[in-house]
């Protein structure tokens, strides 16, 4: 396993280690712009207690 992917009916988000830099890479997709914003909010809610900030 090289990362974490969370799927929803309206999109997904992924967090994994970068292959080229000492950092985590965050990616997200949604079926539309509103869904993408919702997916991003869900990811932030999940990651915040672990002190992981995404942008």
**pTM for this structure?**
0.86
- Measured between alpha carbons, how far is 18 from 9 in angstroms, rounded to an integer? 26
Q: What is the pLDDT of residue 23?
A: 93
Q: Which tens digit of pLDDT belongs to each residue from 32-54?
A: 999 999 999 999 999 999 999 88
Contact 34, 44 (CB under 8 A): no
Domain 3-50: CATH superfamily is Alpha-D-phosphohexomutase, C-terminal domain (3.30.310.50)
Residue 26 β-bridge partners: 15
Contact 41, 34 (CB under 8 A): no
Q: What is the pLDDT of residue 1?
A: 76
DSSP-assigned states of every residue in the chain: --EEEEEETTEEEEEEE-SSSSSEEEEEEESSHHHHHHHHHHHHHHHGGGT----
| Every domain of the chain and the residues it spans | 3-50
């Amino acid at each position: 396993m090289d990362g974490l992917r969370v799927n929803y009916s309206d999109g997904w988000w992924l967090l994994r280690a970068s292959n080229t830099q000492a950092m985590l890479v965050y990616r997200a997709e949604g079926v539309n712009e509103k869904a993408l914003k919702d997916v991003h909010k869900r990811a932030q809610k999940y990651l915040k207690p672990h002190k992981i900030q995404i942008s």
